[in-house]
């Protein structure tokens, strides 16, 4: 896998209060990933980009919310989230 392919799979980190507490307690990180990415591809991309050892990868689909602009309604796009748990001693510096 090339670095350019890894950057296409891993779109952006999710930095919320919940994800920050998971980083401290469980050594777990959340990333928004491409919709067609599977767990093996996500694991390889994270290991290549951040040079860490991944213990476990969980994925979930977050459905898009209904939004309103004026009189019209639209649905935001759905996203795929990956929860990455690192082995002890590994750490990602996102900030």
**Per-residue pLDDT tens digits for 9-36:** 999 999 999 999 999 999 999 999 999 9
Q: What is the pLDDT of residues 70-86, one digit of tens each?
A: 999 999 999 999 999 99
Instruction: Give residues with Cβ within 8 angstroms of 23, minimum separation 6.
Output: 29
Hey, what domains does the chain have and what are their CATH numbers?
3-86 (3.30.70.330)
Per the CB < 8 A criterion, the answer to whether 11 and 49 are in contact is no
Half-sphere exposure of 67 (CA within 13 A, CB side): 9
pTM score of the predicted model: 0.88
Read off the pLDDT band of 94 (50, 70, 90).
confident
33 C-beta neighbours (distance < 10 Å), count: 25
């Amino acid at each position: 896998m090339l670095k350019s392919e890894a950057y296409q799979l891993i779109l952006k980190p999710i930095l919320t209060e919940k994800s920050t507490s998971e980083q401290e307690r469980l050594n777990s990180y959340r990333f928004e990933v491409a919709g067609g990415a599977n767990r093996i591809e996500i694991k390889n991309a994270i290991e290549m980009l951040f040079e860490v050892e991944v213990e476990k990868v969980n994925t979930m689909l977050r459905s898009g919310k209904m939004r309103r602009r004026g009189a019209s309604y639209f649905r935001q796009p759905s996203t795929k989230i990956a929860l990455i748990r690192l082995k002890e001693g590994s750490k990602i510096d996102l900030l």
